[in-house]
Amino acid sequence: MDIDPSSAPTSRANDAKPSPAAVQQTQTTSTASVESTRNPVSASTQAVTAKTAPRTGAKPTAPPRPKLPPPIFLRKGANFLQISADCTRLRINYSKAVRTADDGIKIHCPDVETFRSLNKYLVDFKVQFHTYALEEERKLKAVIRGIPTDFPVDEIQADLCGQGFPVHSVHRLCRRDGSPLWLVLAVLPRTEEAKNIFNNLNMVCGLSGIRVEAPHKKGGPGQCHRCQLYGHAAANCHADPRCVKCLVPHWTRECPRTRLIPIGLKVGP
């Protein structure tokens, strides 16, 4: 039998010829290899970008919590059981009440409305307590230097209001012995319009050369001029008044004594 010698090499050549898909894959691999050789950072950059891409559907930022009103401090001896029962009846839903170190009761309110309702109830029933001013009720105070002592405070207030400053009240500052100073304290609402008094006030009742500044802050807690305790102001104190001179329960301005009584000296009949 005769064998055609050309058939075998042709078959081997056909087997070795790659398919079109294989050729395309080889070209793609070669192109990628050349690209990574030219720019070796691109592959790693793509990987990092894929990992650090922001996720969709993230939770939104929670809104800021409203500022709670200040606490209310009941003095020692207050009938808390009756107060709590009345609050339940009147639907004054305070948050919690805890005992304080001086045997008083500290009451927390969840919102301003509850704070106002409880404050009004305690005042109406003459319960002894103290608290602090709400943020929106706090006043702006300005000390005006260089005002002669013979200027009436009501005329000073009228002049300031005429200049466009919303002044609530004006008080003459005095020394410890009661003699007046060339200083007055103006009380205004805490608004942007009222803050202009520090930069725009140049004259009071036709008098120039005055100076406006903020009150000097004391190092420690302030003393209440009503009950003489520390840590709160008389404007928000509803305890019994106590004289700073003789410690008798009456206002200091009503005391007949003209000077302080030494500690240990017996007072009264």
Domain housing 125: 72-132
82 and 109 both lie in a single domain: yes
Residue 156 lies in a domain: yes
Rounded average pLDDT per 10-residue block, the chain, 269 residues = 49 51 52 51 50 59 82 95 96 95 94 96 96 90 95 96 95 90 94 92 94 85 90 93 85 76 51
Q: What is the pLDDT of residue 269?
A: 46
108 and 164 both lie in a single domain: no
DSSP symbols for 48-110: HHHHHSPPTTPPPPPPPPPPPPPPEEEPTT--HHHHHHHHHHHT---SEEEE-TTS-EEEE-S
154 and 177 both lie in a single domain: yes
Report the CATH number that the domain containing residue 177 is assigned in CATH: 3.30.70.330
Residue 188 lies in a domain: yes
Residue 228 lies in a domain: no
87 and 103 both lie in a single domain: yes
Residue 35 lies in a domain: no
Report the CATH number that the domain containing residue 80 is assigned in CATH: 3.30.70
Burial of 82 (0-12, 13-18, 19+ CB in 10 A): exposed
- Confirm whether pTM is higher than 0.85: no
Q: What is the pLDDT of residue 259?
A: 61
Q: What is the pLDDT of residue 13?
A: 46
Single residue among 132, 153, 180 that ends a domain in this structure: 132
Residue 7 lies in a domain: no
> b/e string for 172-200 if b means 16 or more Cβ within 10 A?
beeeeeeeeeebbebebeeeeebeebeee
Total tally of structural domains belonging to the chain? 2
Write out the two tokens for 48: 């990092």
Q: What is the pLDDT of residue 255?
A: 85
Degrees to nearest 5, angle at CA 90 with 89 and 93: 95
Residue 244 lies in a domain: no
Most distant pair of Cα atoms in the chain: their distance: 156
Q: What is the pLDDT of residue 33?
A: 52
